[in-house]
Amino acid sequence: MRAIRIICTTLIALLSGCASAPEHDLDAMVSVASPEHYDVVVENFELEASGVRHWQIPLRKVGCCWKGAHGPRGPGGSLTPFPDYIAIQWFSLAEQKHYQRLFSLPKNLQDRMREPASYKTSLGTFERPRDIMTIGLAPGGTIVVWIQNQIGNEIEVARMQANEIEGDPGDYRATTKRYLEENADYLKQHGVPTKGW
Protein backbone atom coordinates (compact mmCIF):
# COMPACT_ATOMS: atom_id res chain seq x y z
CA MET A 1 0.00 0.00 0.00
CA ARG A 2 2.83 2.38 0.86
CA ALA A 3 4.49 1.70 -2.52
CA ILE A 4 1.25 2.56 -4.35
CA ARG A 5 0.96 5.83 -2.42
CA ILE A 6 4.57 6.78 -3.34
CA ILE A 7 3.96 5.94 -7.00
CA CYS A 8 0.70 7.97 -7.08
CA THR A 9 2.35 10.95 -5.36
CA THR A 10 5.26 10.83 -7.82
CA LEU A 11 2.91 10.63 -10.83
CA ILE A 12 0.82 13.57 -9.59
CA ALA A 13 3.97 15.65 -9.04
CA LEU A 14 5.29 14.80 -12.51
CA LEU A 15 1.99 15.52 -14.24
CA SER A 16 1.45 18.83 -12.46
CA GLY A 17 5.02 19.82 -13.35
CA CYS A 18 4.33 19.11 -17.03
CA ALA A 19 1.12 21.14 -16.95
CA SER A 20 2.89 24.24 -15.68
CA ALA A 21 5.97 23.96 -17.89
CA PRO A 22 6.41 26.98 -20.20
CA GLU A 23 5.65 26.58 -23.88
CA HIS A 24 8.77 25.47 -25.78
CA ASP A 25 10.26 28.08 -28.07
CA LEU A 26 9.78 27.63 -31.78
CA ASP A 27 12.62 25.44 -33.10
CA ALA A 28 13.68 27.83 -35.85
CA MET A 29 16.70 28.80 -37.94
CA VAL A 30 18.06 32.17 -39.01
CA SER A 31 20.07 32.82 -42.16
CA VAL A 32 21.70 35.81 -43.86
CA ALA A 33 21.52 36.55 -47.59
CA SER A 34 22.53 39.23 -50.06
CA PRO A 35 21.49 39.90 -53.65
CA GLU A 36 23.28 37.91 -56.33
CA HIS A 37 26.52 39.66 -57.41
CA TYR A 38 26.44 41.93 -54.32
CA ASP A 39 28.26 39.77 -51.78
CA VAL A 40 29.01 40.91 -48.24
CA VAL A 41 31.37 39.87 -45.46
CA VAL A 42 29.49 39.51 -42.17
CA GLU A 43 31.86 40.75 -39.48
CA ASN A 44 29.56 40.31 -36.49
CA PHE A 45 26.18 38.61 -36.04
CA GLU A 46 24.81 38.53 -32.48
CA LEU A 47 21.43 37.56 -31.05
CA GLU A 48 19.97 38.16 -27.59
CA ALA A 49 17.05 36.59 -25.78
CA SER A 50 16.95 39.06 -22.88
CA GLY A 51 17.80 37.47 -19.56
CA VAL A 52 18.15 34.03 -21.16
CA ARG A 53 20.97 33.87 -23.71
CA HIS A 54 23.32 36.02 -25.77
CA TRP A 55 25.10 34.28 -28.65
CA GLN A 56 27.01 34.83 -31.87
CA ILE A 57 26.66 33.01 -35.16
CA PRO A 58 30.00 33.02 -37.00
CA LEU A 59 29.54 33.93 -40.66
CA ARG A 60 31.93 35.34 -43.21
CA LYS A 61 31.29 35.83 -46.93
CA VAL A 62 27.60 35.75 -47.84
CA GLY A 63 26.24 35.88 -51.37
CA CYS A 64 23.33 34.70 -53.43
CA CYS A 65 20.46 34.67 -52.91
CA TRP A 66 18.16 37.46 -51.99
CA LYS A 67 15.13 36.57 -54.15
CA GLY A 68 14.04 34.31 -56.96
CA ALA A 69 14.27 30.56 -57.42
CA HIS A 70 17.18 30.29 -54.96
CA GLY A 71 16.22 32.76 -52.29
CA PRO A 72 15.95 34.18 -49.84
CA ARG A 73 18.45 31.82 -48.25
CA GLY A 74 21.99 31.77 -46.93
CA PRO A 75 24.22 30.49 -44.15
CA GLY A 76 23.10 30.82 -40.55
CA GLY A 77 22.32 28.98 -37.35
CA SER A 78 19.83 28.33 -34.56
CA LEU A 79 17.15 30.84 -33.60
CA THR A 80 16.52 29.08 -30.27
CA PRO A 81 15.76 30.59 -27.85
CA PHE A 82 13.85 33.17 -29.84
CA PRO A 83 15.75 36.48 -29.63
CA ASP A 84 14.47 39.93 -28.74
CA TYR A 85 17.38 41.71 -30.43
CA ILE A 86 19.73 41.13 -33.36
CA ALA A 87 22.96 43.02 -34.06
CA ILE A 88 24.67 42.70 -37.42
CA GLN A 89 27.74 44.35 -38.93
CA TRP A 90 28.98 43.75 -42.46
CA PHE A 91 31.27 44.94 -45.25
CA SER A 92 29.75 45.42 -48.71
CA LEU A 93 32.25 44.13 -51.28
CA ALA A 94 30.52 45.96 -54.15
CA GLU A 95 30.47 49.32 -52.36
CA GLN A 96 33.60 48.93 -50.22
CA LYS A 97 31.61 50.22 -47.22
CA HIS A 98 30.90 49.00 -43.68
CA TYR A 99 27.40 48.92 -42.15
CA GLN A 100 25.87 47.95 -38.82
CA ARG A 101 22.48 47.84 -37.13
CA LEU A 102 21.03 46.75 -33.80
CA PHE A 103 17.30 46.06 -34.05
CA SER A 104 14.46 44.49 -32.12
CA LEU A 105 12.20 41.95 -33.74
CA PRO A 106 8.47 42.67 -34.11
CA LYS A 107 6.61 41.74 -30.90
CA ASN A 108 4.33 39.12 -32.46
CA LEU A 109 6.91 37.63 -34.83
CA GLN A 110 7.37 34.34 -32.99
CA ASP A 111 3.59 33.78 -33.02
CA ARG A 112 3.48 34.58 -36.74
CA MET A 113 6.26 32.07 -37.36
CA ARG A 114 4.37 29.39 -35.42
CA GLU A 115 1.31 29.69 -37.68
CA PRO A 116 1.15 26.79 -40.17
CA ALA A 117 1.86 27.73 -43.78
CA SER A 118 1.46 25.56 -46.88
CA TYR A 119 4.49 24.30 -48.75
CA LYS A 120 4.79 21.96 -51.73
CA THR A 121 7.03 19.01 -52.47
CA SER A 122 6.95 16.27 -55.08
CA LEU A 123 4.84 14.26 -52.60
CA GLY A 124 2.11 16.90 -52.26
CA THR A 125 1.14 19.97 -50.29
CA PHE A 126 1.81 20.08 -46.55
CA GLU A 127 1.75 22.58 -43.69
CA ARG A 128 4.27 23.51 -41.03
CA PRO A 129 5.41 26.68 -39.23
CA ARG A 130 7.43 29.33 -41.06
CA ASP A 131 10.49 28.25 -39.10
CA ILE A 132 13.16 30.02 -41.16
CA MET A 133 14.00 33.70 -40.73
CA THR A 134 16.25 35.25 -43.38
CA ILE A 135 17.96 38.61 -42.95
CA GLY A 136 18.77 40.20 -46.29
CA LEU A 137 21.63 42.72 -46.61
CA ALA A 138 21.67 44.90 -49.73
CA PRO A 139 23.79 47.76 -51.08
CA GLY A 140 23.03 51.11 -49.49
CA GLY A 141 22.58 49.41 -46.11
CA THR A 142 19.06 48.08 -46.72
CA ILE A 143 18.02 45.27 -44.36
CA VAL A 144 14.96 43.12 -45.09
CA VAL A 145 13.68 40.33 -42.82
CA TRP A 146 11.58 37.47 -44.19
CA ILE A 147 10.00 34.38 -42.63
CA GLN A 148 9.28 31.20 -44.58
CA ASN A 149 9.26 27.41 -44.45
CA GLN A 150 10.23 27.02 -48.11
CA ILE A 151 11.70 29.26 -50.79
CA GLY A 152 8.76 30.83 -52.56
CA ASN A 153 6.41 31.32 -49.60
CA GLU A 154 8.44 33.97 -47.78
CA ILE A 155 6.71 36.99 -46.33
CA GLU A 156 8.47 40.24 -45.51
CA VAL A 157 8.12 41.13 -41.82
CA ALA A 158 10.56 44.04 -41.43
CA ARG A 159 12.54 46.53 -43.49
CA MET A 160 15.08 49.00 -42.13
CA GLN A 161 18.17 51.04 -42.87
CA ALA A 162 21.60 50.23 -41.42
CA ASN A 163 24.12 52.84 -40.36
CA GLU A 164 27.25 53.31 -42.43
CA ILE A 165 30.28 53.13 -40.15
CA GLU A 166 34.01 53.69 -40.51
CA GLY A 167 36.23 50.79 -41.42
CA ASP A 168 39.25 49.93 -43.53
CA PRO A 169 38.39 48.32 -46.91
CA GLY A 170 42.03 47.22 -47.04
CA ASP A 171 41.18 44.56 -44.45
CA TYR A 172 39.40 42.72 -47.27
CA ARG A 173 41.89 43.30 -50.08
CA ALA A 174 42.26 39.61 -51.02
CA THR A 175 38.52 38.90 -50.67
CA THR A 176 37.68 41.96 -52.78
CA LYS A 177 40.14 40.87 -55.46
CA ARG A 178 38.51 37.43 -55.76
CA TYR A 179 35.04 38.99 -55.66
CA LEU A 180 35.86 41.42 -58.49
CA GLU A 181 37.39 38.64 -60.61
CA GLU A 182 33.97 36.95 -60.53
CA ASN A 183 31.68 40.01 -60.63
CA ALA A 184 33.47 42.99 -62.24
CA ASP A 185 31.74 42.56 -65.63
CA TYR A 186 28.32 42.39 -63.98
CA LEU A 187 29.02 45.47 -61.85
CA LYS A 188 30.30 47.38 -64.88
CA GLN A 189 27.08 46.61 -66.75
CA HIS A 190 24.55 47.03 -63.90
CA GLY A 191 26.28 49.28 -61.38
CA VAL A 192 25.58 49.15 -57.66
CA PRO A 193 21.98 50.23 -56.99
CA THR A 194 21.54 51.49 -53.43
CA LYS A 195 17.74 51.97 -53.58
CA GLY A 196 14.77 49.85 -54.59
CA TRP A 197 15.73 46.65 -52.85
- The more confident residue out of 17 and 62 is 62
pLDDT (0 to 100) of residue 67: 86
- The more confident residue out of 137 and 16 is 137
Establish if 79 belongs to a structural domain: yes
Nearest of 164, 162, 169 to residue 87 by alpha carbon: 162
CA distance 93 to 41: 7
Number of compact structural domains in the chain: 1
pLDDT tens for each residue of 39-66: 999 999 999 999 999 999 999 999 989 8
pLDDT (0 to 100) of residue 25: 63
**DSSP-based three-state secondary structure for 131:** coil
pLDDT (0 to 100) of residue 8: 41
Neighbour tally for 112: CB within 10 Å? 14
**DSSP-based three-state secondary structure for 101:** strand
Establish if 9 belongs to a structural domain: no
The whole domain housing 140 covers 26-190
Range list of H helices, 72-172: 109-114
Tell whether omega for the bond before 81 is within 30 degrees of 0, i.e. cis.
yes
Establish if 136 belongs to a structural domain: yes
Establish if 182 belongs to a structural domain: yes
pLDDT tens for each residue of 76-134: 999 999 999 999 999 999 999 999 999 999 999 999 999 999 999 999 999 999 999 99
pLDDT (0 to 100) of residue 68: 84
Nearest of 109, 93, 107 to residue 41 by alpha carbon: 93
pLDDT (0 to 100) of residue 69: 86
Establish if 3 belongs to a structural domain: no
Establish if 13 belongs to a structural domain: no
pLDDT (0 to 100) of residue 92: 98
The CA–CA distances, whole Å, from 192 to 3, 33, 103, 169, 183 equal: 76, 17, 25, 17, 11
Establish if 15 belongs to a structural domain: no
With 70 as the cut, is the pLDDT of residue 17 above it? no
pLDDT tens for each residue of 156-175: 999 999 999 999 999 999 99
Q: What DSSP element (H or E) covers 176?
A: helix 173-190
Establish if 111 belongs to a structural domain: yes
CA distance 157 to 117: 15
- State the Cα angle at 103 between 98 and 109, rounded to 5°: 135
pLDDT (0 to 100) of residue 21: 36
